[in-house]
Chains A and B, each alone.
Chain A
């Protein structure tokens, strides 16, 4: 419809422009304006209130010398890597199984996806309870006779992150399954027929034909999971509170605490800018793949 649109004069399309005002304000004031504001103020020495003097990169130097920030970044890297790998593998596996024309498909799908409807707070709290060493899984297994069984990740600073990952996977894999399932069902059945005629085993068809064909689905899923990983906050708050000690701190929590608890605004701005940089590294290649070359609409 570009010909219709281009023939409209400024006034004739006034209603559409009025209707789009909220979007324009959101895009310019919030997404561009607020983001730039934070980036600019990360170069100041604001503490209780935004302002102060221009200090260049000093906040970033300080940030990268802060132990808590380094732990947060390391935690997020480990969490992110494992979360990506496991949710893609489990999500795809679930989708491939569900795609086998199984009985009770709807029931299984409902079971795998329902955690996604729950909040991260609920997810964190229920897994905190399950992983409680006194009453949870550890106690239950011990009461069956395995007296030395140990499974208390939330109280062990080396393992706490894996406890969070178990909860994160429980919450998020259903979504990945849904996306993968949509991708699998978008594959032409002739592909399957052809590979069966040629006597290619199903697993080979998946690995060499179907998965390469699903590349766009994988890319989109990857971007979505990554974006949600970087935002990781509620789950940690509910499940561990960042503990024991600092061992499950994450960047989003660092930012929140710097801004609203310890009143060290500029550190919060600098840390959130680093989060933005991390997202940009994910988004730009994706946007290039998605939008680059072809013109849409």
Chain B
């Protein structure tokens, strides 16, 4: 135990525990880094191929190796994917889908988080009789396959005149984002010291004042996590997009699938890959920028706090 001189690491997710590495070039290290390198190839290969393919001309794709970098660099596929490739109805590129996805994602993220944060706050600090029954249904409901509920939802939306409408799709995203987000916010507000809440109550602050002035600012990191979680999930959604929007309002995922899997015309693999990258760009950026917060979001959502 001679090597145990360093202070014990804190238990945060960033710190490693377990046996310390020995010499730099031991068999153990070679095995470990060998496995890591091998697996990294599996994980990185697709994105490498996507980028390389999207920068080549079609003749080069037909002649050359899928893994090779482009001999003749071209950005033509990107321009075509963005502004002129056919997406089924029109040939205006995937930019229309990009805009549609933004128009769908932004209000859905805002509304779902607004509703769920207030809900989590009510559930954790203002609990009322029966609240837990609804909450339990909500959490169990998160596991029900969407396919079971989708047709009656179509009927409900048609009855209230929102079927095929942006508002309807936003509503659907809000409903299905509620279990996970409520759970996140409920657990976060549970960790607020009770004294703080009591003090605010004694000072005469009410439900909304406490939420807006004290709790919401304190929960700011959780709001960031929720935004990351929701914007990625909603941007990547396909099923709801197909069912609850009309072809001219299809989100990017649906248009992308239409472009690549269309049976008409010559297959332009470079344009397909450029379009694929374009639609992956937003969640990928969110992921790379947010780093540990992204991990925290999925971990907090997955492992019940």
Q: Which residues of A contact B (CB under 8 A)?
A: 1-2, 5, 8, 13, 15-17, 19-20, 22-24, 26-35, 37-39, 50, 90, 93-94, 97-102, 105-106, 108-122, 125-130, 135-137, 139-140, 143, 170, 174-175, 178-179, 181-187, 189, 192-193, 196-197, 202, 217, 220-221, 223-224, 227, 230-231, 233-234, 237-238, 241, 251-252, 255-256, 259-260, 265, 268-269, 271-273, 275-276, 279, 282-283, 287, 290, 297
Contact = CB atoms under 8 A, between A and B. Distances in A.
Nearest to B237: A119
A15 B119 CA distance: 11
Interface centre among B1, B8, B236 (most CB of A within 10 A): B236
B103 interface: no
A224 B302 contact: yes
Contacts of A221: 302
B16 A38 contact: no
Contacts of B19: 100, 192, 196, 202
Contacts of A297: 127, 132, 190
Nearest to A241: B261
Contact of A5 (B50, B127, B174): B127
Contacts of A139: 65-66
Given A117-B283, A126-B50, 12 more contacts: A23-B123, A23-B178, A109-B295, A110-B291, A113-B294, A117-B287, A122-B253, A125-B272, A182-B299, A189-B18, A196-B1, A273-B148
A27 B145 contact: no
B128 A13 contact: yes
Given A35-B149, A135-B61, A268-B151, A117 B304 contact: no
29 contacts: A1-B125, A1-B194, A13-B128, A16-B122, A17-B122, A19-B119, A20-B134, A30-B149, A31-B149, A32-B137, A35-B144, A99-B17, A102-B33, A106-B291, A113-B294, A122-B256, A125-B260, A127-B46, A135-B62, A170-B42, A183-B303, A189-B9, A193-B4, A237-B257, A255-B147, A256-B147, A271-B147, A279-B143, A279-B144
Contacts of B148: 34-35, 38-39, 272-273, 275-276
Contact of A34 (B46, B149, B283): B149
Contacts of A193: 1, 4
Contacts of A220: 302-304
Nearest to B294: A117
Contacts of A130: 45-46, 49, 66
Interface of B: 1, 4, 8-9, 11, 13, 15-21, 32-33, 35-36, 39-40, 42-47, 49-50, 53, 61-62, 65-67, 115, 118-119, 121-123, 125-128, 131-132, 134-135, 137-138, 140-141, 143-153, 155-156, 174-175, 178, 182, 190, 194, 206-208, 232, 235-239, 243, 253, 256-257, 260-261, 269, 272-273, 276, 279-280, 283-284, 286-288, 291, 294-295, 298-299, 302-304
A288 B144 CA distance: 17
B66 A137 contact: yes
A23 B137 CA distance: 10
B92 to A, nearest CB: 20
A128 B260 CA distance: 10
Given A34-B149, A170-B46, A252-B147, A179 B303 contact: yes
A30 B153 contact: yes
B175 A26 contact: yes
A189 B66 contact: no
A38 B149 contact: yes
Contacts of B135: 23, 27
Given A100-B19, A121-B257, A197 B1 contact: yes
A23 B134 contact: yes
Contacts of A269: 151
A135 B42 contact: no
Contact of A111 (B35, B44, B273, B304): B44
Say what secondary structure dominates the interface of chain A.
Answer: helix
A129 B155 CA distance: 38
A297 B131 CA distance: 12
Contacts of B15: 185
A20 B35 contact: no
B43 A19 contact: no
B50 A1 contact: no
A115 B128 contact: no
A178 B295 contact: yes
Contact of A119 (B18, B178, B280): B280
Nearest to B201: A4
| B148, B261, B287 — most chain A CB neighbours (10 Å) | B148
B147 A34 contact: no
A130 B143 CA distance: 32
Given A50-B151, A122-B279, A259-B151, A27 B138 contact: yes
